[in-house]
Amino acid sequence: MSEPKRFSGILSPVVTPFGADLRPDAARLARQCHWLLSQNCGLAVFGTNSEANSLCIEEKIELLDALVEAGVDPARMMPGTGACALPDTVRLTAHAVKRGCAGTLMLPPFYYKGVSDEGLFRAYAEVIERVGDARLRIYLYHIPPIAQVPITLDLIERLIASYPDTVVGIKDSSGDWSNTEAMLNRFPGFTVFAGSESFLLRNMRGGGAGCISATANINPAAIHGLYAEWQSPQAEALQADLDALRGVLQKFPMIPALKATVAHYSGDDGWHRLRPPLVELSEDQRQELLAALSERNFTMAGLPELAGA
Amino acid sequence: MSEPKRFSGILSPVVTPFGADLRPDAARLARQCHWLLSQNCGLAVFGTNSEANSLCIEEKIELLDALVEAGVDPARMMPGTGACALPDTVRLTAHAVKRGCAGTLMLPPFYYKGVSDEGLFRAYAEVIERVGDARLRIYLYHIPPIAQVPITLDLIERLIASYPDTVVGIKDSSGDWSNTEAMLNRFPGFTVFAGSESFLLRNMRGGGAGCISATANINPAAIHGLYAEWQSPQAEALQADLDALRGVLQKFPMIPALKATVAHYSGDDGWHRLRPPLVELSEDQRQELLAALSERNFTMAGLPELAGA
């Protein structure tokens, strides 16, 4: 049995394409994943930006199977597997391990608010015990602006103490650098991903592993560029460039903006679709976004050829 | 095909019992439902207080089937069927209609925050179209403190206009009386339930239908008493009594407090169990709660006999 390697570098919460019937489109998703891998970008499929919580467990299992069958390397996949209900999290996580995924990104159960660390500890512990597979590697997913259920430092400490070989890392999407810094300082050896490339340079300087970021869907090579050269003299300039592009995207709702960008640069209109409760950009927003990208001479190298394949 | 009757009166979001393996216990739940019905209390199974979002869809379908097979009248059931993912909501809702449930209580998709009314309208509309059954009756579930995704008055108006025979009511768990009042005033004929008996008298006076309340799990007869006598001279005194008992419960986390109460008065310790991320009361909390209930001469008439059956 091979030991899963720790993730590092850049991962994208891959946006999920839907057909006209709002079903996920596995073939389009596989093409996108291959392109991202070609850009040195790992695959945090089923993340927040993947509309993963708008997919049911069966859909995620089918997509995961389709990706592996399409030749997408599971060693580069960190699927999101955390759901509200324990059996759902167990089922999807066990399937991801079985398919060889080198890790899973795990939300806490997120319906009930104001829950205790004891309750969240039990939730993660039950998943680990029930999956019962030594290959399981969990990256905790701290995203309080959306999940509204935080993963505290004390909870992380307790999970690492109880499951040191399983609970190996975290994605910090708090947007609060002081929280990421506290994790880096308090848990040496823990694999800490920033939740956005805005914090990539600081995270690397602090001993972090990289970032898992929405905009890696459209700008993976440049983000990886900073990851590769964070110790070089031009690192600050690279960070500033990334921040500027992210600034363009952040003027719009992020997920529809990512999909509009992929749709435009791939010439594939199907990418516009979102599942309710999310909605596509208005035509005005889309034009404004594309104009701003064009003004920056933005490109997605290699994408149109692959999408047209 | 019989037309489902509108709900009115008191409903309980029935607490869900779990076995030692944390699986839902259908037999215990059926006994509890029979007891609640004997107290003039309808069954909002799979509500927030039922830990419904800690159950997967398959578990809810199995429980619903087991309840109907145990003779629980589906005309008195308003199961919660709203999930994050469209296919889950469609599947459970269609099953509830098929089993004869006279209505469903439907959360909006609740993972993504800050979503638009347009997105939420599409989410409900897709469910209605996909279920495609004239018997479907939806009671919207507005619970911003937990779901963090509100159902605005404008959204309600649009849903009623598009689906007048389907979107027939709401449970308002905002805790904000002015919001309930605005619904009563703006939507005559809409079936408005207060989300707590604290607002029962005001809701009845304003033209509301009753309440769907956590504490109806343990105090259904008294809450129904106020519903039946809201126009009598003693209505204010009955409301004050209900408020006092609710005040006792609200000193503790509500769901574990309800379960501790049912466990004690049924003599059935199994009721203490909760699924993570929720946890049971501490022994100190439990003693404090039971002492406060005992001081008020609180009882749950008929419960021990039924539970021991």
Q: Give me the pLDDT at residue B308, please.
A: 46
Indicate whether B255 belongs to any domain: no
Domain count, chain A: 1
The C-alpha of A278 sits at a distance from chain B's nearest C-alpha, in angstroms, of 5
Cβ contact A298:A266 at 8 Å: no
Q: Across the interface, do B112 and A53 touch by the CB < 8 Å criterion?
A: yes
Q: Give me the pLDDT at residue B307, please.
A: 47
The C-alpha of A111 sits at a distance from chain B's nearest C-alpha, in angstroms, of 7
**What proportion of chain B, given as a percentage, has pLDDT over 70?**
97
Q: Give me the pLDDT at residue A2, please.
A: 67
Q: Across the interface, do B146 and A88 touch by the CB < 8 Å criterion?
A: no
Indicate whether B263 belongs to any domain: no
The C-alpha of A284 sits at a distance from chain B's nearest C-alpha, in angstroms, of 17
Nearest to A276 among B86, B88, B111 (CB): B86
Indicate whether A177 belongs to any domain: yes
Residue B301 has pLDDT above 90, yes or no: no
The per-type count for chain B, helices as H runs and strands as E runs, is 13, 7
Q: Across the interface, do B56 and A57 touch by the CB < 8 Å criterion?
A: yes
The distance of Cα B23 from the centroid of its chain, to the nearest Å, equals: 21
Over range A176-186, report the average pLDDT: 98
Q: Across the interface, do B279 and A146 touch by the CB < 8 Å criterion?
A: no
Q: Give me the pLDDT at residue B2, please.
A: 67
Instruction: Show residues of chain B in contact with A122, CB under 8 Å.
Output: 276-277, 279
Q: Across the interface, do B56 and A87 touch by the CB < 8 Å criterion?
A: yes
Instruction: Show residues of chain A in contact with B57, CB under 8 Å.
Output: 56
Q: Across the interface, do A147 and B59 touch by the CB < 8 Å criterion?
A: no
Over range B202-213, report the average pLDDT: 98
Using a CB–CB cut-off of 8 Å, the residues of B that contact A are 22, 48, 53-59, 84-88, 91, 108-113, 115-116, 118-120, 122-123, 126, 145-149, 275-279
Q: Give me the pLDDT at residue A308, please.
A: 47
Does pTM top 0.90 for this prediction? yes
N-term to C-term CA, chain A: 36
Residue A114 has pLDDT above 50, yes or no: yes
Can you give the CATH number for the domain in which A111 is found? 3.20.20.70
Residue A281 has pLDDT above 70, yes or no: yes
Phi, psi of A43 (to 5 degrees): -120, 95
Instruction: Show residues of chain A in contact with B92, CB under 8 Å.
Output: none
Q: Across the interface, do A111 and B110 touch by the CB < 8 Å criterion?
A: yes
Nearest to A109 among B54, B112, B147 (CB): B54
Beta bridge partners of A212: A11
Calculate ∠ Cα B163-B166-B170, nearest 5°: 105
Cβ contact A204:A232 at 8 Å: no
pLDDT tens-digit series, residues B226-279: 999 999 999 999 999 999 999 999 999 999 999 999 999 999 999 999 999 999
Instruction: Show residues of chain B in contact with A22, CB under 8 Å.
Output: 86, 126
Residue A302 has pLDDT above 90, yes or no: no
Residue B81 has pLDDT above 80, yes or no: yes
Over range B16-39, report the average pLDDT: 97
**What proportion of chain B, given as a percentage, has pLDDT over 90?**
96
Indicate whether B252 belongs to any domain: no
Q: Across the interface, do B111 and A116 touch by the CB < 8 Å criterion?
A: no
Q: Give me the pLDDT at residue A307, please.
A: 47
Strand B41-43 and strand B104-106: pairing? unpaired
CA distance A41 to A44: 9
CA distance B15 to B274: 10
Residue B28 has pLDDT above 70, yes or no: yes
pLDDT tens-digit series, residues B218-235: 999 999 999 999 999 999
Report helix angle B153-162 to B117-131, nearest 10: 30
DSSP state of B108: P
From A57-61, B2-6, B58-62, B282-286, the region with the lowest mean pLDDT: B2-6
CA distance A116 to A99: 33
Residue B3 has pLDDT above 60, yes or no: yes
Residue B306 has pLDDT above 70, yes or no: no
Q: Give me the pLDDT at residue B303, please.
A: 81
Report helix angle A283-295 to A254-266, nearest 10: 70
Report helix angle B177-186 to B153-162, nearest 10: 30
Candidates B91, B111, B121: best to mutate against A (most CBs of A within 10 A) is B111
Residue B55 has pLDDT above 90, yes or no: yes
Indicate whether B58 belongs to any domain: yes
Cβ contact B17:B29 at 8 Å: yes
**What proportion of chain A, given as a percentage, has pLDDT over 90?**
96
Q: Give me the pLDDT at residue B116, please.
A: 98
pLDDT tens-digit series, residues A135-149: 999 999 999 999 999
**CB contact burial B206-234 (16+ within 10 A = b; e otherwise):** bebbbbbbbbbbbbbbbbbbbbeebeeee
Indicate whether A264 belongs to any domain: no
N-term to C-term CA, chain B: 36
B170: enclosing H helix or E strand: strand B167-172
- Show the tokens assigned to A137: 């590697």
CA distance B279 to A122: 9
Q: Across the interface, do A277 and B123 touch by the CB < 8 Å criterion?
A: yes
The C-alpha of A120 sits at a distance from chain B's nearest C-alpha, in angstroms, of 5
pLDDT tens-digit series, residues A250-262: 999 999 999 999 9
**What proportion of chain A, given as a percentage, has pLDDT over 70?**
97
Q: Across the interface, do B85 and A111 touch by the CB < 8 Å criterion?
A: no
The C-alpha of B24 sits at a distance from chain A's nearest C-alpha, in angstroms, of 12
Give the domain range for residue B220: 9-230
pLDDT tens-digit series, residues B111-152: 999 999 999 999 999 999 999 999 999 999 999 999 999 999
Beta bridge partners of A10: A41, A211
Q: Across the interface, do A146 and B111 touch by the CB < 8 Å criterion?
A: yes
From A248-257, A294-303, B170-179, the region with the lowest mean pLDDT: A294-303
Indicate whether B71 belongs to any domain: yes
Q: Give me the pLDDT at residue B305, please.
A: 53
Over range A28-49, report the average pLDDT: 97
Over range B289-309, report the average pLDDT: 80
Q: Across the interface, do B146 and A113 touch by the CB < 8 Å criterion?
A: yes
Residue A29 CB: number of other CB atoms within 10 A? 23
pLDDT tens-digit series, residues A63-86: 999 999 999 999 999 999 999 999
Indicate whether A263 belongs to any domain: no
Candidates B54, B55, B126: best to mutate against A (most CBs of A within 10 A) is B54
B118: enclosing H helix or E strand: helix B117-131
Phi, psi of A193 (to 5 degrees): -100, 135
